[in-house]
Structure 1
Amino acid sequence: MLRNKYLPIFIVFLLIINPVNGYELLDTTCSKNEHINKIKHYNYAPPLCTGLTMPLDGDTNIAVSTGLSWTRVSNATGYKLNIGTAPGANNILNGFDVGNTANYQNSNKLPENTIVFVVITPYNADGDALNCNEESFTTGPDIPPPNCTTLLTPTPGAIDIGINPLFSWQPTNTASGYLISMGTNPGNTDILNNEDVGDVTNFTHMNDLPNGTTIYVEIIPYNLAGNAFGCQDFSFTTGAVDLRPECTTLTTPIPDSQDVPVDTNLTWEKIPEAVGYIITLETLTDNIDILNRFDVGDTDIYHPPGDLPGSTTMYVTITPYNIYGETENCLVQTFSTGLEDVYPPPKFFTPNGDGINDIWIVPNPINRIKYVCIFNRYGKLLKQLNDLSEGWNGTFNGIPLAKDDYWYNIVYNDGKNTTGYFSLVR
């Protein structure tokens, strides 16, 4: 009896449908002693379409040397390009396979001032993407990159330049804008890095430049064709000038004024460059007896915590400062206070018959005042108050006076006097 030297192999084929990955074809044997062979094959669908990212669909005034870029598709293994100058045309590129990349740079310029139509078709082993949309953009004129420009101000090589100069440069005919870089060493951009200032020929940096430093500036013109090439740095040096603020002046009390109320506040002119003020206030005794270099911060008023000494000459030094330091050699300003326990008269009164603030009365708690005279702005005597408690009701010979400023002269028992003004308000 003839016997087959090969063992029979019975194979059952199992086909499994996978709706996502295609199908699997598996073979299994009936016995554990028999060989097991498996065959697999996965079927992926063709990729989806993509779209331009540069230029965008509908863009205009695009450089004729532009490249194309698009969004990658995850299961694509390559891309084909059709480019033409009419819808559906491929007179520039016809199904050109760029491989598995998401950008393309044509070796030739595109036609100028032309609508260019593009179709990008992703593909993989299972075929091309279907029915991809056609996109388009419009090119601008075919011009070369612009020439470099020249810094006009500050003058290249200049010294002692301010820390916030105006930069200006020579216009370049074909430039559509300018990029500016600045640094403290050649080629550095630690101050400004490729700032696009647009189509202008002057610029002011928003921050102060470092003082006493050589500044290197590069200005690069650009247009549709690209940036100017090989532009040189220009340099200048900022000046080591005194950037501290100017001194200020007392506004209240007015310097050299007399009989200033002991409860006065101090005010002064605000200096734009200052960020704060240091006050020294003294009576020129052996020691600074009221304020010794007191930092009041960024304000233009100081309220002493208590009354100043009466009948005394006060010496005030106000020193502005900023990040560059304190101002030096500011003048000492003086004023003299009046008697202690003498209170200033009211700044205004309202004689309108409502029973509130109808009478102007000068305080005299310890009877130091002899009398008070009231004048109009032309110096005419309107009223002399010998009895201060009587006050003044705002009339002259029984006739109500108009709202205005009126002047007073307070005469004290020791012969001193104080003058000032107040307002009648109706």
Structure 2
Amino acid sequence: MKKKWDYRIPQILAAPIFFIVLLFAVFKTSAQECPALVSPINGATLVSVDASISWEAITGVPGYIISLGTSPGGNDILNERNVGALTSYTSPAGLPESTEIFITITLFFFNQPNIVCESQSFTTAALSEAPQCVPSTFPANDALDINTATNISWNAAPNATGYFLSIGTTLNGSEILTSTDLGNSLNYNTPTDLPPEAEIFITIIPYNRIGIAAGCSTVMFTTAPEAVLPICTTMISPVNGETNVPLSPTLEWNAVTNATGYRVSIGTSPFETNILEDAIFFKTSTVIIDFEPNRTFFISIYPFNEAGEAIGCTQETFSTLVGCGPYFDPVSGELLVLNPELSFPDSVSICTDNEFNVITATDEADGYRWYKLDERGNETLLSTTAEVSIDEEGKYIHEAYVNIEESGRTFECSSSKMFEVKISQIPEIADVKVQITANSLNYEIFTTTTGNYEYAIDNKEGPYQDTNRFTNLSLQNHTIYVRDKDGCGLATKFVEQDLTVNGFPNFFTPNGDGDNDYWQYIPPVENTEPIIEVIYIFNQFGSLIQQLSPTSIGWDGTFNNQEMPETDYWYKASFVNQQPITGHFSLKR
């Protein structure tokens, strides 16, 4: 974070500082993964003629060159257009209808031969209606002081396959160019300059096989007095297509005799000016501080004078090859990256009762930075050590970096990730909902607090689980443990459960384990003397199988020394001076 340079003119015009830093890397020349089409997918049909083409990004590939044709490997529609690191392309003039279009993607590398991938294809849909009018032109309608050497251009009209153009000095006139079919071109350069200080009328009529656009307006602009434009220039350093360019290069271009200045734009793709946009220089060189490593840059230079700027200047490219990677290692056959690998978690919890909540980096690095993000995404630096104190919830950034020394220059390779801080607290058990089944108990645990909790039963050491539900528990009393995962504390609750009805157990388990092996009436605690005379036990057919004294150990689940089966049994208890009580219970083994 915090390493993007602001390429404004005052910085560009800083005193020349030329760091020559070259880090040569060898890139893979053997089998290389090629990208698949994302949209349209390979084999797609009925694709719109104005569709944008996109493909997968491949790790370690600095850039892409694409060709479009009507046959595998063909380039009759587009011939090897370098799009930099972009993974999409839209044809300015659209694509032909009802045609299988083949796209060939070439992987661009710095220090190895480019890799040409196998062609993929899709088929465009047929046009179903006449085109619309062009959305905009250059010069624009009512423009003033247009140079007489200006080329006329326009943006593509939807569904157009060609254009008729007429140029005149009167409304609907064609004194300069009678209506001419220019095919699918989007510009026209008049053989001679336009008349100076004149009103120029241009009419552009798009067409396709269905018909022509209707109701298209005539565009009028006014030319400037006659003057001589400067010609275009070319780069001296770095030269067009050069690689291994330092990260802080001196850019130099050829002087143009009648130019008073130069308008320079630089971008990371042919369609962007995200590094430098229309910066004006009155000399033929400048220094750029800290280009991004391992990238291709696209530079356009337009000389200008009082008559206007040069027309039709060609965009040039150069590539840097210094920095943190990825680099291809010919020994291991892998891509190497110098940035530290981060293991820091996506979220961290802090305890409400801790005066200082200290978070420590989990990554090995030469240095660290911690930032807090506000609601607008602005960053506030909190710490530059391996530890940071945080006392409130929110979003933060953890950054780790290593210092790399190469060719007498030290540069930084960093990795960063956003993480979220959540507040946690000591658990407090509010309630345990108990469900009694014929064979077992089910618990559901509720807390009055919120946090990152885990749950265990009958053992403080665990095992712990994330869910607050326990099922198929033995029919006995249990102890619940709720623990905060981030070390904020532990809560305990003993759950005592009455498993009888009026003192008669719902079940018993005569399996010889010493626990609940006998079925017997359990008198209430407040009673000191038994009030039951006798208890009779019947099977499901009504046969008497056991008679119990309330003072005996109880029934052991046998009849005539034979173990009785698992099922429900009935009992009848005779009380002193009271009506008998009947009910049923389960025998479980």
TM-score when normalising by structure 1: 0.32
TM-score when normalising by structure 2: 0.25
